[in-house]
Amino acid sequence: MTERIEGTWSAPGRVNLIGEHTDYNDGFVFPFAIEYRTTVRLASRDDARIRVSSSFSADAVEVPLAELAGLFPDRRDEVVEWARYPLGVAWALLEATGTDAASVTGVDLAFSSDVPVGAGLSSSAAIESATASALNDVWQLGLDRVALARAGRRAENEAVGAPTGIMDQMASMLGQPDAGTFLDCRSLLAEVVDLGFARAGLELVVIDTKVTHAHSTGGYGERRAACERGAEIMGVTALRDVSVADLPRAQELMDDVTFRRVRHVVTEDQRVLDTVQTLREDGPRAIGGLLDASHTSMRDDFEISVPELDLAVETARAAGAIGARMTGGGFGGAAIALVDRERVPAVTAAVESAFAAAGFTAPHIFTVRPSEGARRDA
Ligand code: GAF
């Protein structure tokens, strides 16, 4: 009998400060990992099977490791949805390294999490990154953090069926305390950029609207298709290759809806670059206008906001936020607001009463701190 391995790994959710729907266009994003984490307790087993269980679902799933290759992607519907994330990562890791399932130890993976689900804070990337980190260590695959993020994205794309980019997995893998991850999604080169919120007396407030969304259905895929159409019309590989100066020509060449999708992505890429530069030169108090402009672009051009997100953003600003925008893929989820520490209670109260007056479900409002990425805890 082989030696029993046990351990605990964890990975965080994320907030995207700016750069929305730019990742799958080879563009720029600027997210940070948050202190809410998913933890996985791993115990090895000697029967070459993988079992996943969690505190957030009654359904545990157990399959022989050798059967993962037959399940994903074609037979993924046979797996209960939450389990597609960790099992998909196990599959993607074996595939990426050309590892024979018979050569690695069986594992029991037990998950628990305090990352809010459906709030646009990447609870799914937290599961993927925790799983990837644990299996990389225990199976001794020797992959670096970028390769682990790629395996997480592959699981999301092919085992879950959500056509997402790589931002969330990279943010969860690479997070650093008090810093954002400025990522070029084409080269996958990342820079750690000091955010300085605490030093400037600022808090990052999250307003979870409780409007749930799923990126495996509908709007997300349609937006991605519009971007691909726009890139094709412009004759480029990806919208990353279109600049703000090219927009008048784009407008002549495409229909209004495609043009507005393109304009969002092209201007959002520029806003990410401007945000990083502004932070470095003038500090976080100077980035409010860029956050506001990002929201307007998502509301009017990309059309992925919902009335609850618009109300959260407008009310937070009216109550004194330095800047506010929806964060994540859209169609629900959360807004963020950059707020002076002493104004947090006033902003919270204003948003709560605006939601009540509009007849919306009460939002969940809390602050987050830029935090450490995936790690082994014990
Ligand atoms: C979701 C996706 F998972 C990311 O890849 C990204 O596209 C984001 O929506 C929008 O910026 O979180």
> What DSSP string runs through 114-153?
-SPTTSSS-HHHHHHHHHHHHHHHHTT----HHHHHHHHH
- Give me the CATH code for the 4-193 domain, please: 3.30.230.10
C-alpha span between 184 and 206 (Å, rounded): 25
Stretch among 6-10, 65-69, 173-177, 213-217 having the lowest mean pLDDT? 213-217
Whether residue 1 has pLDDT greater than 60: no
Asked whether the beta carbons of 253 and 281 are under 8 A apart, the reply is: no
- Nearest atom in ligand 1 to 220's CA: 9
Instruction: Write out the two tokens for 92.
Output: 């993607």
Say what the pLDDT of residue 120 is.
87
Whether residue 127 has pLDDT greater than 90: yes
C-alpha span between 268 and 365 (Å, rounded): 26
pLDDT band at 2 (very low <50, low <70, confident <90, very high): low
Say what the pLDDT of residue 361 is.
98
| Helix (H) or strand (E) run with residue 324 in it | strand 323-327
For β-strands 106-113 and 49-54, DSSP reports them as parallel
pLDDT digits (tens, 9 = 90+) for 300-325: 999 999 999 999 999 999 999 999 99
> pLDDT > 70: what percent of the chain?
98
Judged by phi (left if over 0) then psi (alpha if -120 to 50, else beta), residue 129 lies in alpha
Catalytic machinery residues: 168
Please give the average per-residue pLDDT across 213-233, as a whole number.
Answer: 89
- Give me the CATH code for the 197-368 domain, please: 3.30.70.890
- Nearest atom in ligand 1 to 19's CA: 11
CA of 133: how far to CAs of 11, 30, 57, 146, 332, in Å?
8, 22, 22, 11, 29
Please give the average per-residue pLDDT across 149-178, as a whole number.
Answer: 97
Average pLDDT, the chain: 96
Instruction: Write out the two tokens for 143.
Output: 């992959």
For the chain, what are the domain ranges? 4-193, 197-368
Please give the average per-residue pLDDT across 142-154, as a whole number.
Answer: 98
pLDDT digits (tens, 9 = 90+) for 23-50: 999 999 999 999 999 999 999 999 999 9
Ligand 1: which of 14, 17, 18, 21 to mutate, judged by most atoms within 8 Å of the beta carbon? Answer: 21
Q: How far is the CA of 243 from the centre of ligand 1 (A)?
A: 21
Amino acid at 174: L
Instruction: Write out the two tokens for 8.
Output: 């605990």
pLDDT digits (tens, 9 = 90+) for 225-278: 999 999 999 999 999 999 999 999 999 999 999 999 999 999 999 999 999 999
Q: How far is the CA of 322 from the centre of ligand 1 (A)?
A: 24
Please give the average per-residue pLDDT across 48-62, as a whole number.
Answer: 96
202 - beta bridge partners? 340
Return the DSSP state at 74. Answer: T
Return the DSSP state at 361. Answer: P
Q: What DSSP letter does each residue of 34-55 carry, written as one string? A: EEEEEEEEEEEESSSEEEEEET
Q: Of the candidates 336, 347, 271, which has an alpha carbon nearest to the alpha carbon of residue 302?
A: 271
pTM of the model: 0.97
Q: How far is the CA of 328 from the centre of ligand 1 (A)?
A: 6
Ligand 1 pocket residues where CB is under 6 Å? 16, 20-21, 23-24, 164-165, 167-168, 215, 328-329
Nearest CA owner, ligand 1 atom 1: 329
Q: If DSSP codes are grouped into helix, strand and coil, which group holds residue 208?
A: strand
Q: How far is the CA of 255 from the centre of ligand 1 (A)?
A: 25
- The ipTM value here is 0.99
Nearest CA owner, ligand 1 atom 3: 164
Whether residue 184 has pLDDT greater than 80: yes
Stretch among 118-122, 308-312, 357-361 having the lowest mean pLDDT? 118-122
